Structure formats: C-alpha cells, structure tokens
Structure 1
Amino acid sequence: MTAQKNVVLLSCLLLVYLPNQLISVDPCVFDLHAKGIIDLTGVGHVDGTPAWKNVKPVKDDKHVYSYNPCRPFTLSTCENVAACQTFTTDEKLAYSLGTQNSLQWTVAPGKDLPTLHYTTGERTLVVSLHCLSSGGKNKLVVDGLNPTTKLYEMTLSSKCACWDGCKGGHSGNSNNGLSGGTIFIIILTMVAVIYFIAFISFNKFKRQANGMDILPHRTFWVSLPGYSLGGIKFIVHKITGKETNYTPVP
C-alpha cells in the first residue's frame, strides 16, 4: 500500500509541476487573468536594434538612453541588453541598464498597470506603462536617474500597454497561448511519465521484480522496433510491387 500511495502522490505532483516547467516566461507578455493581457511584442524591434535609440532625458544629465521591449539589442559596449545608457560626449562609454532575462513585471497596490523592472549589477531600470486607449504613436519618455530611489526611470506609452490592447493584433513571433499541438504533447508526456512510474513501482514493490523486469510490458517494448521495421518493409514492398513474406500476428 505504501508503494501505491507514493505513486498516487508522485502522479499528482507531476500534474501540477510538469506543465509549469514546460511553459517559459515571456518578457513580451504579462497575463493577469483578472484584467487581461499586456503584449508588447509589436512595440520592440526584432533585428537586434533598439526601438528607441539615444533618447535625451527630460532633464539633461549628459547621457542618452536606448531601450527595446521584449528582445535584446547590442549598442556600443552594451551587448544583449534591454536598455543602455551612453555618455553624450563619448558613445563608447555605455552602460547596461538591464537584460531581458532579468525582467520582473510588478503591479503596485492602487495602480492599474504593471511596471517593468530590469536589473544588471548595481543598476535597476523601472519602465512605467501608459495606456494610449485611443491609439497613437508609441512614445518613450526618459526621466533618467531618480536621486531619491537611485533607480533609472522611463515611461512607455502605447496602445499595447493597455489591457488586451494588442492581444492577437500585433505582428511578431509571440504566442498568446498554447497551441493544440503543444497541449497534446504536454498531456502525452504526463501520461507517459505516470505510466512508467506507476508500473515500475508496481513491478518493484508488488511483484518484487529486479533489473530489466521492472520495466512495464518489457516484452512489448523490446519487440516494438522489430514490428515497426517489418511493417515499414511490408508497406514499401506493396508500393514497389515486390513479393512480401509478411506473417500475420496470430
């Protein structure tokens, strides 16, 4: 009974844990079921260049800033970054303000829209979102370094910053959900894992099997490649008109 309980418990854990491992985090999409989806895929560039390059801050700080949602870009000494700070007097003096894989979406209490937090080393960039419900051109406002919080701040205004503003209506390679084929593969994988764990545990603890005998339906799986090869040969011979010596399974 202990072995059977362990199998049931492990199966339940797999049903909860495995799907979460197969779905990766997308820096382009934020899904809050209670409100909708914010999809920035159509806002950023996909060619390795920033959507906004060398933008001057509201208050001049002798720097310019570049930013690209979703996809990394390279500019000067900033390689594969989400945002870059560059000296106006020397573009070779550039510093990363965060990478795409460091992105964290957060929703502050009392605020309707999330903010994007990027980090790299001691620098942290906070990008606030502003919804352009009536449409209009995407816009980036750079505030630069906040002397109080020590955070770099920007505001991104876009229709895509609205809840469901660009859901399914953008051009890009982002998926807003799992396809039917992906769901089928997830289910098939879970069933296969549960099948093997359940039968291996049963053979091991109930039947006291050892070695290769603990594998479920071992004879079938060992014979399967031969049966498959024989079936392929039979089909090829039928198509080519060659004589077949196919023996049916009794």
Structure 2
Amino acid sequence: MNIRKNIFSILSFVLALCLRDQLNALTPCIYNLNPKGIIDLTSVGRMDGTPAWKNVHPEISDKHVYSYNPCHSFTQYTCINVAACQAYETDEKLVYSLGNQNSMQWEVQTGKDIVTLVYNSLERKLSVYLNCLKPGEPNKLEVHGYDSVAKIFTMTLSSECACWDGCKNGPTPPKLPNKLGGGAVFILILVILTTIYLIGFMTFNKFQRHESGINILPHRQFWIALPGYALDGILFTLRKVTSKGTTYTAV
C-alpha cells in the first residue's frame, strides 16, 4: 500500500512540474507567475494578419529569412495562421511553418524565471528567448538560425513587454518633448494674432461699415500696396549698397 502511495506521489509531482507552465499561461499572449508578475505580449505582435518582423536575416546566413509575430497569427504565402515562418532568400514564396500560436508553450527556468516561448510544427521546432528592455526602448528581434545540435530554430525577442509586469498596463508610450522651441512659440503666437486680426476686422467691416465682397478684408488697400512698397525698399537698399543714386520716395 505504501509503495502505491509513493508511486502516486512521484507521478503527481512529475505531472505538476510538466503542467506548471501551462497552468500559469493565461493565453498565448499572457503568462502569470505569482508573485513574480505577469508577462503580457499582447501589444508586441501585429493584429492585421501580417508579421511584426518579416524576412529577417539570421546572424549567420543560412540562405533563409524568417518572419515572426508573437501572440497573434499571420499568413505569408502558404504559411497560413502561423506564429513564425521560414522562407528561402531567393524564393520568398517557398515557405515553411515554424509553428502556430496554439502550439506555443511557455517555459520558465526554475530559479531564474527566464522565459522562453516554444513553438512546434510537423517538422520544425522554434524557441524564442525573451529579453527584458528598459521602458521606451524599441522592440527588437534577433534570429540566431538553426541549432544543429539541439535541432531547433532559435530567436531572441527583446521588449519592455518581455519584463515581468513590463506591460501589465500596456507599453510605455514614447517620450515627447515637454516644451516648444522659441521658433515654434513665435510662429504659434503669430498665427493666433493674425487670426484674431482677420476675424476681428472682417466682423467690424461687415456689421459696422456694412462692407461686402473684397471690401470686407481689413486694410485692403494697404495690403494690396505692400508688395510694391517691399520692392521699392529692396531696390533702394541695393542702390545704396552699390553706391548708385536713388529717387526713393518715403511712404
């Protein structure tokens, strides 16, 4: 009887270890390891049926390119509803699936809490290592290629969302300048004042002077004559610089 209990306890322990990661996996996007935190890749992958990374060359050329989209499925030629796809460099229509989202398993190294995403297809296996980035740093994918010893394709996905609780409430938005430059402030003020000037005088001309058509414009005659005044000023300056006489008439 004790032998049966011991065997049952051992089997239960092994089964718990095997299922631990999958019990913590809420979806192919989210993994919850209390009290360590949550890894949420929802915002990393594209949701329009295309990969976030398309035709990426590996570190050492193997005459192939690789596409990958975490969390959400994509289609690339005959790679239909996959998470990752391999294609020939010379013929991108010749493709092979590296696994779909439903095949993904979360693997966490005990004690280190280092997370790896493992995908399987009929003939290929892919491991994607997660690398934690600082808030605001851009997502990056490194393709390492095929490991002939382990017989597995490997990549590294670097993202703020690969950190524990890094994207628990969504990714950190990029930082924007907290103030405008002097030139931008001047242009903004000029635009505002010009708008006030036009609206104010056009309203006055229409309702107080009962003007209509082009006459509603403020100081119309001055603005029509202004280009001529400007040209006279330029010619006057040029004649002064070239020491020629001038018949400039003051306005």
Q: TM-score, normalised by structure 2?
A: 0.57
Query: Does the 8 Å contact 1:135/1:158 carry over to 2?
Result: no
Equivalent position of 2:232 in the other structure: none
Equivalent position of 1:49 in the other structure: 50
CA deviation profile, 1:133-170 (whole Å, cap 9, x unmatched):
24311000000110110100000000000000000124
Q: Which runs of 4 or more aligned residues in structure 1 lie more than 3 Å from their structure 2 counterparts after TM superposition?
A: none
SS at match of 2:98: strand
For the aligned residue pairs, the C-alpha RMSD in angstroms reads 1.8
Equivalent position of 2:118 in the other structure: 117
Equivalent position of 1:155 in the other structure: 156
Equivalent position of 2:109 in the other structure: 108
Q: Residues 25 and 38 (structure 1 numbering): CA distance in 2 closer, same or farther, change over 3 Å?
A: closer
Equivalent position of 1:59 in the other structure: 60
Share of identical aligned residues, percent? 61
**Of the two structures, which has the highest relative contact order with CA contacts closer than 8 Å and spacing of 6 or more?**
1
- The one-letter code sitting in structure 1 at the alignment partner of 2:33 is L
User: How many angstroms apart in 2 are the aligned matches of 1:133 and 1:112?
Assistant: 18
Shift of 1:111: 2.8
SS at match of 1:101: helix
User: How many angstroms apart in 2 are the aligned matches of 1:138 and 1:170?
Assistant: 11
SS at match of 2:141: strand
CA deviation profile, 1:47-102 (whole Å, cap 9, x unmatched):
00000000000000000000000110000110000000000011121000000000
SS at match of 2:120: strand
Structure 2 gap segments, 5+ residues each = 1-24, 173-251
- The one-letter code sitting in structure 2 at the alignment partner of 1:90 is D
User: How many angstroms apart in 2 are the aligned matches of 1:25 and 1:159?
Assistant: 19
What is the 5 A alignment of 1:1-250? Answer: 25-170=26-171
Larger Rg computed on CA atoms? 2
Aligned residues: 149
User: How many angstroms apart in 2 are the aligned matches of 1:47 and 1:139?
Assistant: 19
User: How many angstroms apart in 1 are the aligned matches of 2:160 and 2:50?
Assistant: 21
CA deviation profile, 1:95-121 (whole Å, cap 9, x unmatched):
000000001001123433210000011
Shift of 1:34: 2.0
Structure 1 gap segments, 5+ residues each = 1-23, 172-250
